[in-house]
Chains A and B, each alone.
Chain A
Amino acid sequence: MALKDFEKDMMRDSRCSYCKVIPHVMMTDTRFIDVCPSVARFNFHGFSAGGRMVAGLSLLRNRIEYTDGFLDMIFQCQMDGACDVSCKIDRDLEPLQVMQELRIKCIEDGQLIAGHMPVLEGLRKEDNMLQRKKADRGKWADGLDIKELAGGKAEVLFHAGCRYSFDEELWPTVKTGINILKEAGVDAAIMGKDEACCGGRAYEMGYEAELIKYADHNIQAWKTAGVKTIVTPCSCCYQTFKVLYDKIGKKPEIEIYHFTEYLDKLIKEGTLKLKKKVPIKVTYHDPCHLGRLSEPWIHWSGKEIKVAGQMIVHDPAKKYRRGAEGVYDIPRDILKAIPGLNLVEMYRIREYAWCCGSGGGVKEAYPEFALWTAAERLKEAKDVGADALVSACGWCKRNFTDAVKETGKKIEVYDIVDLVQEAL
């Protein structure tokens, strides 16, 4: 697909601004009505999905040229997809896909974002998004009793992802993950220094070739190693393996689990028993990539036909991803299964969850905006009386932790795995 293929979507934008807020029936508090960090922060319509639909059309029609202002407008956005859900409450349009194709076009046309460049260079050289040495990728697992694939075979692969692999503060989470798997008797392995980036975050920055490259590489590596199941604690990797590889026609014939799904399975089977009390009041932050963005891809090919004069329908009928099929209940079920834990909900949850702020290349190129977005979420968590914010993604945890330091907010930030560990 290309931007051109979405011309009709852009034309059909009505400029209703639904993409800026949570629909009435799903909202109770006007202080947290905004769903899109970008327009909430920068205010001009161009910073909303609707504004980017218009900009895409303008670009196709040569009404505008590339400028720094235009690029900031396109890239100061986490690509979190909340706008897409709010738009689709009533419309059959694809604003998130338009925004994705717009970024791809920018990159293809050589319009690069300075803040992304070191990351991309690092990725191309070292196969990770954190500008670290590839050789150090498996260090987080040093001292763990875990099989490291080096040309060997394993049915269950634990894919740590770039963030957990190189962010030392997050290592306890992945180490815990491995220990839980071992305790549950799961014969899992890691790829260590041979693990590569999923390509998903680069794709969100507009680098489609990187997604294709890493899809090919990873799928081949898994095949060679006889991998049947992948478990990852990273929501971005999970969404990339499950949704984006499928989107580009490279769906792996492998079971993909987010770590929470695997944990839930182990808890419900009785293999894992949560016994210890964890008396804490927490609120759960739905990571965008585990929630609405992880809804399975829906392939469609067909044509538009006219009926009853000028009504337009699709042949065959088209189905839309509206954010309904993300992973929402499982992390909540896990938290509810922890004795003594008190789970309170924020206002913007599930398909309307407010983004942590780090996605879409924002953490890398616009760090202040990333922190502003996270700080808004911390406010919401405090407002519902939570002592801790729990997420299920390393990127979320990193950005929230940074925002806590920056704002001095008194709130703990956990990965759900950390709390499960405390309950074991």
Chain B
Amino acid sequence: MSLSREAYRALEDIVGPENISEEPAILDGYCFVWANEAMFDDRFSARPLAVVLPESIEQVQGIVRVCNRFNIQFRAHSSGWSCPALSSKESFLSIDMRRMDRIVAIDAKNKYAVVESYVSMQKLFLQTMKVGLRPHTIGCGPSGGILASATSNFGCGNTSASSDFGGRVPLGVEWVLPDGEILRLGTLGTGSGWFSGDGPGPSLRGIMRGYGGATGGLGVITRAAVKLTPWYGPPALKASGKPNIYDIEIPENFQINVAAFPDRDQLTDFFVLVVEEAIAFALHRSPAASLAILSTSSGDDFWQMVSASPPEVAEAMKFIGVLMMDAGSPREMQYRYDLLQKIMERTEAMNFPMGPDMMGPVFRNLVTGQGQQRVFNITTGFLTAAVNEESWDSVKLLGQRVAEELYAKYEAEGKIAITGENPWFAPLGDSFAHTESVVSYDQFDPESIKAVREILAEADIKLPQWHLAVGGAEGCLSFDEASEKAAAPYCLDFLGYEKKIKKAFDPNLVSESSFYVKP
């Protein structure tokens, strides 16, 4: 499939010849991303028709209008680090937002920043640190697009307990609708600035992103204001030493605690109490192995550390919570510390002592999100097979049931990595939570990939039956609506509403929608 020459010229006229490409080698960089092989038959999904690099909202609008005129499917992305950004069974026009990389404004007084589509979490954070603020973190890591996570994906990370998750982050939004009209949401819609997403002015956040994000299926967000949270650390992080384990100075007003619990109930209580008392900068449950991954320099070093560790250690660390507290003053830190001691006592927590070798990398990860993708070094492929939002109980139930009822069989057959119960859990704001359970596999092993596909399909069916989640890989509803259909009997007819929204906003059905909803 290719663009007609007329359509190509129309796009070229908008972005200029340097910023459009049909070169196959370049296009292949836009249909290759981790986990593709688990959803498609290959590391590559369908090659895009072309790639364009707009640099302004006018250019984006022009591109979208051309797509409507020539009936071309399009999808925009920022970093492009996920299947919903790049992948599809059918070719479409890929809009790479890389040239829209400006931090438009940081309003320190009102605690928000206005960013263009490509601005990464790292880039924004580096700037906001200088004025004592921070954006919400993105689980995938520092190169993830801050706007994408706020407006188009679920958007959560280590600090979601304090900085909230993507859905609560966007304020004023500038949105090129699928038909090429420009819609400005919140206060921006009445010319009152960027400070509110809910007006005076149109409040369509629920439609624009809903809960999980439309993942590119509803036009292109070109600019958005995102809320910021206080940062009590220094204006820049201080790292020294050698790559890839740098020594990092942990600021005095930050404190990391890793606590091990006797059982799932105590672990859950710990999370509830910490969130109630609002003492967390970052809070999550993760497998103990993740601490080893962060603090070793390679997959081989990780394995040496883990395999040398006595089984009792692994058992004692089956249920752990990682908490980092920050404070604006020593007195506040003391207050938080005292509270934490009481919570730990009540939940029978045991403090897991960490040396500086582990502390630095864990701090770096909690603050910047960097380090997560080291998991690829030992498993080569991994994918979130089960995601749950909302339920606090999922902290104890989801990981366990997924491990026992979905993974165990395949682990016994050696088809996936033996990780056991390995949920990553993080509270979101003050009242609900996100849990995901990853499956690790070998990208080169067809049997391993087949097992992952079976697990995904089973998860789609079983999670709603367990009343634990709507399934779907990578926190988006799964490709081909399998998970939505399986969940439909247990939920309101959300699929029907999504289809109506899609039709109303995208009359020509050109905004590529594989990871959102089928029209």
Residues of A in contact with B (beta carbons under 8 Å apart): 8, 11-18, 20-21, 23-30, 33, 42-46, 50-51, 54-55, 57-59, 63-65, 67, 69-70, 73, 85, 88-92, 306-314, 317-320, 322-325, 351
- How many B residues touch the partner, as a band? 35 or more
| Contact indicator A64/B416 (Cβ below 8 Å) | no
Contacts of A323 in B (CB 8 A): 243
One of B154-162, B293-301, B319-327, B461-469 contacting the partner: B293-301
A-B contact pairs, 7 of them (CB 8 A): A12-B376, A28-B126, A28-B236, A46-B29, A67-B25, A309-B415, A311-B378
| Contact indicator A30/B123 (Cβ below 8 Å) | yes
| Contact indicator A21/B440 (Cβ below 8 Å) | no
A43 CA / B100 CA spacing, docked (Å)? 11
A57 CA / B37 CA spacing, docked (Å)? 14
Contacts of B26 in A (CB 8 A): 44-46, 51, 69, 73
| Nearest CB on B from A327, distance (A) | 14
Any chain A CB within 8 A of the CB of B10? no
| Contact indicator B123/A311 (Cβ below 8 Å) | no
Any chain A CB within 8 A of the CB of B98? yes
Known: A15-B34, A33-B126, A308-B418. A91 touches B377 (CB 8 A): yes
| Contact indicator B370/A309 (Cβ below 8 Å) | no
Known: A24-B368, A89-B244. A318 touches B237 (CB 8 A): no
A63 CA / B29 CA spacing, docked (Å)? 12
Contacts of A324 in B (CB 8 A): 242-243
Any chain A CB within 8 A of the CB of B96? yes
Residues of B in contact with A (beta carbons under 8 Å apart): 18-19, 21, 23-26, 28-30, 32-34, 43-44, 51, 53, 79-81, 86, 96, 98-99, 103, 120, 122-123, 125-127, 140-143, 236-237, 239, 242-244, 246, 248, 297-301, 303-304, 307, 364, 368, 370-374, 376-380, 411, 414-419, 440-445, 448
Known: A23-B370, A311-B417. A15 touches B80 (CB 8 A): yes
Additional 18 contacts, C-beta under 8 A, given A17-B81, A308-B418, A309-B417: A12-B376, A14-B34, A15-B34, A16-B81, A16-B140, A28-B236, A30-B127, A44-B21, A44-B96, A45-B29, A45-B96, A67-B25, A91-B377, A308-B419, A309-B411, A312-B299, A312-B380, A313-B303
Q: A20, A312, A324 — which one has the most chain B CB atoms within 10 A of its CB?
A: A312
Contacts of B244 in A (CB 8 A): 88-90, 322
| Contact indicator B237/A24 (Cβ below 8 Å) | yes
Q: B299, B379, B411, B441 — which one has the most chain A CB atoms within 10 A of its CB?
A: B299
| Contact indicator B23/A311 (Cβ below 8 Å) | no
Q: Which residue of B lies closest to A324 (CB)?
A: B242
A324 CA / B237 CA spacing, docked (Å)? 19
| Nearest CB on B from A318, distance (A) | 6
| Contact indicator B376/A91 (Cβ below 8 Å) | yes
| Contact indicator A25/B442 (Cβ below 8 Å) | no
A20 CA / B379 CA spacing, docked (Å)? 24
| Contact indicator A24/B142 (Cβ below 8 Å) | yes
| Contact indicator B373/A30 (Cβ below 8 Å) | no
A15 CA / B31 CA spacing, docked (Å)? 10
The 8 Å CB contact of B440, one of A46, A55, A310, is A310
| Contact indicator A27/B126 (Cβ below 8 Å) | yes
Known: A15-B32, A63-B44. A24 touches B122 (CB 8 A): yes
Contacts of B126 in A (CB 8 A): 24, 27-30, 33
Q: A24, A33, A310 — which one has the most chain B CB atoms within 10 A of its CB?
A: A310
Known: A15-B32, A54-B32, A311-B417. A90 touches B374 (CB 8 A): yes
| Contact indicator B304/A310 (Cβ below 8 Å) | no
Contacts of A314 in B (CB 8 A): 299-300
Q: Which residue of B lies closest to A50 (CB)?
A: B29
| Contact indicator B143/A55 (Cβ below 8 Å) | no
Contacts of A307 in B (CB 8 A): 303, 307
Q: Which residue of A lies closest to B34 (CB)?
A: A14
A8 CA / B442 CA spacing, docked (Å)? 11
Known: A43-B53, A85-B243. A310 touches B80 (CB 8 A): no
| Contact indicator A44/B373 (Cβ below 8 Å) | no
| Contact indicator A23/B24 (Cβ below 8 Å) | no
A55 CA / B411 CA spacing, docked (Å)? 34
| Contact indicator A69/B378 (Cβ below 8 Å) | no
Contacts of B127 in A (CB 8 A): 30
| Contact indicator A311/B379 (Cβ below 8 Å) | yes
The 8 Å CB contact of B143, one of A18, A25, A64, A312, is A18
A386 CA / B371 CA spacing, docked (Å)? 35
| Contact indicator A312/B378 (Cβ below 8 Å) | yes
Q: Which residue of B lies closest to A59 (CB)?
A: B25
Q: B126, B237, B239, B298 — which one has the most chain A CB atoms within 10 A of its CB?
A: B298
Q: Which residue of B lies closest to A92 (CB)?
A: B377
A23 CA / B367 CA spacing, docked (Å)? 13
| Nearest CB on A from B371, distance (A) | 6
Known: A45-B80, A311-B417. A14 touches B25 (CB 8 A): no
| Contact indicator B29/A55 (Cβ below 8 Å) | yes
Known: A43-B98, A90-B244. A54 touches B417 (CB 8 A): no
| Contact indicator A46/B303 (Cβ below 8 Å) | no
Contacts of B376 in A (CB 8 A): 12, 14, 91
Known: A28-B236, A69-B26. A91 touches B81 (CB 8 A): no
A20 CA / B143 CA spacing, docked (Å)? 9
| Contact indicator B142/A23 (Cβ below 8 Å) | yes
Q: Which residue of A lies closest to B24 (CB)?
A: A64
A88 CA / B245 CA spacing, docked (Å)? 10
A57 CA / B86 CA spacing, docked (Å)? 18
Known: A18-B143, A90-B370. A46 touches B81 (CB 8 A): no
The 8 Å CB contact of B370, one of A28, A33, A89, is A89
A102 CA / B28 CA spacing, docked (Å)? 16
A199 CA / B53 CA spacing, docked (Å)? 38
